[in-house]
Amino acid sequence: MATPATATPVLSIVAPCYNEEESLPEFYRRTTKTCVALNLPYEIVLVNDGSRDRTWELMQALARLDPCLVCVNLSRNHGHQLALSAGLSVCRGERILVIDADLQDPPELLPEMLRVMDDGIDVVYGQRRRRAGESLFKRASAALFYRVLGQLTSVPIPADTGDFRLMSRRVLDILLNMPERHRFIRGMVSWIGFRQEPLHYDRDPRYAGETKYPLRKMWNLGVDAVTAFSVKPLQAAGVLGLLSILGGVGLLLATLITWVAGGEGALWLGLFAFLAVLGGVQLLGLGIVGEYLGRLHENSRQRPLFLIESIRRFVPSASEHVGIDASPASVGEPINNDPIAA
Ligand code: UDP
Ligand code: MG
């Protein structure tokens, strides 16, 4: 019989690593300990995202000794979301845990996540209750970001989450078939749907080293998130244009009243009214261009139009063929539980 180390993995742990030489040995130790205790065939997929320190050397040394380790070396630094996508594309498990290599998200939560998944849940995402060891700026900007994103998008992307999550193979396969280039993975997983449940936890400080997410990268991730999940910024000009036109029409009425009443300043008011209407028409034009651009943008992402979770159809049961009434519980058996991407 295949041992957990040699069998096809049931469980994959995927961790992107950028300059993580200090955290990697401890991450490997704690993750391996958790996986071994589960007694399931597993693999740990480590992705070296163009590190400039000894991360790749360390990975190779570990992989020489451990058949459960898969190490992927990217050609250069591609960034967290693409490094993660690369790891997800090579993992083979039926259940896949995405986790950072800096131990901010404890691998020891995996057994609990698996238990939640046993109840038919497709995605168990870690939701942070508390974030220890992170600057006030980072916490405040993250909190603001998730609230703004929540207002802009129609896809419910849970607040205070990272990419730390356990997902089923069917969710991962759909994710891998979404070809968009700017990947905000936690949003894409939310978009996929099915049953997703949070697991609340306290986020630890980094085990070692510094954040690999400076302000510039955080900003880029935020822009990717907003542009991948909302066309509202493109529509904003149109709304402003309409408001400006309405304001201009109001001013025009005020001009007329002032003129008829023989008051002073009708000329100035008229000029303002004209400028407001003119500016509004231009903004409205931009908004109309934005509507077309938004649709083009949505088409270019080539996401599936919809995803079917399962189909139930009436299937005559054996009892009906012999003339016995089928009980309500026996009608409409599931005939297909595979997700179908249109
Ligand atoms: N990371 C990566 N490529 C990058 C930046 C980060 O693979 O360009 C990895 C990093 O090694 C870590 C994870 O992505 O495992 C999250 O990064 P980090 O912990 O620095 O982000 P933070 O938790 O501070 O937001
Ligand atoms: Mg971190």
d(CA 101, CA 87): 13
Is residue 329 in a domain? no
Q: Which pLDDT score is estimated for 329? A: 41
Is residue 340 in a domain? no
Residues 24 and 58 sit within 8 Å (Cβ to Cβ): yes
Minimum CA distance residue for ligand 1 atom 8: 79
Residue of 13, 14, 18, 84 to mutate, ligand 1, most atoms within 8 A of C-beta: 18
Is residue 335 in a domain? no
Is residue 62 in a domain? yes
Residue 175 shares a structural domain with residue 270: no
Establish whether residue 49 lines the binding site of ligand 1, counting it when its CB lies within 6 angstroms of any ligand atom. yes
Cα four-point dihedral sign 324, 326, 330, 335: positive
Is residue 166 in a domain? yes
Domain of 103, CATH number, reads: 3.90.550.10
What total of structural domains would you count in the chain?
Answer: 2
Residue 244 shares a structural domain with residue 291: yes
Residue 196 shares a structural domain with residue 284: no
Provide the 8-state DSSP code for 107.
Answer: G
Residue of 59, 102, 160, 204 to mutate, ligand 1, most atoms within 8 A of C-beta: 102
Q: Which pLDDT score is estimated for 322? A: 47
Q: Which pLDDT score is estimated for 319? A: 58
Q: Which pLDDT score is estimated for 143? A: 86
Q: Which pLDDT score is estimated for 5? A: 55
Q: What is the pLDDT along the chain (342 residues), one digit of tens a residue?
A: 445 555 789 999 999 999 999 999 999 999 999 999 999 999 999 999 999 999 999 999 999 999 999 999 999 999 999 999 999 999 999 999 999 999 999 999 999 999 999 999 999 999 998 877 778 888 888 888 888 999 998 888 998 899 999 999 999 999 999 999 999 999 999 999 999 999 999 999 999 999 988 889 999 999 999 999 999 999 999 999 999 999 999 999 999 999 898 878 888 889 999 999 999 999 999 999 999 999 999 999 999 999 999 999 988 876 555 444 444 444 444 344 444 444
Q: Supply the range of the domain harboring residue 45.
A: 11-230+304-324
Residue 287 shares a structural domain with residue 315: no
Q: What φ, ψ does residue 197 adopt, rounded to 5°?
A: -130, 145
Q: What φ, ψ does residue 127 adopt, rounded to 5°?
A: -115, 125
Establish whether residue 83 lines the binding site of ligand 1, counting it when its CB lies within 6 angstroms of any ligand atom. yes
Ligand number, closest to the Cα atom of 145: 1
Residue 200 shares a structural domain with residue 265: no
Is residue 330 in a domain? no
Number of separate helices (H) and strands (E) present in the chain: 11, 11
Q: In ligand 1, which atom is closest to the CA atom of 218?
A: 25
Q: In ligand 1, which atom is closest to the CA atom of 101?
A: 15
Q: What φ, ψ does residue 111 adopt, rounded to 5°?
A: -55, -40
How far apart are the CA of 219 and the centre of ligand 1, in A?
14
Residue 131 shares a structural domain with residue 246: no
Structure tokens at 103: 């131990």
Minimum CA distance residue for ligand 1 atom 17: 212
Q: In ligand 1, which atom is closest to the CA atom of 20?
A: 11
Total-model pTM: 0.85
How far apart are the CA of 80 and the centre of ligand 2, in A?
11
Q: Which pLDDT score is estimated for 6? A: 59
Q: Which pLDDT score is estimated for 334? A: 39
How far apart are the CA of 291 and the centre of ligand 2, in A?
37
Residue 259 shares a structural domain with residue 318: no
Residue 160 shares a structural domain with residue 271: no
Is residue 3 in a domain? no
Query: What is the β-pairing status of strands 123-131 and 196-203?
Result: parallel
Residue 142 shares a structural domain with residue 290: no
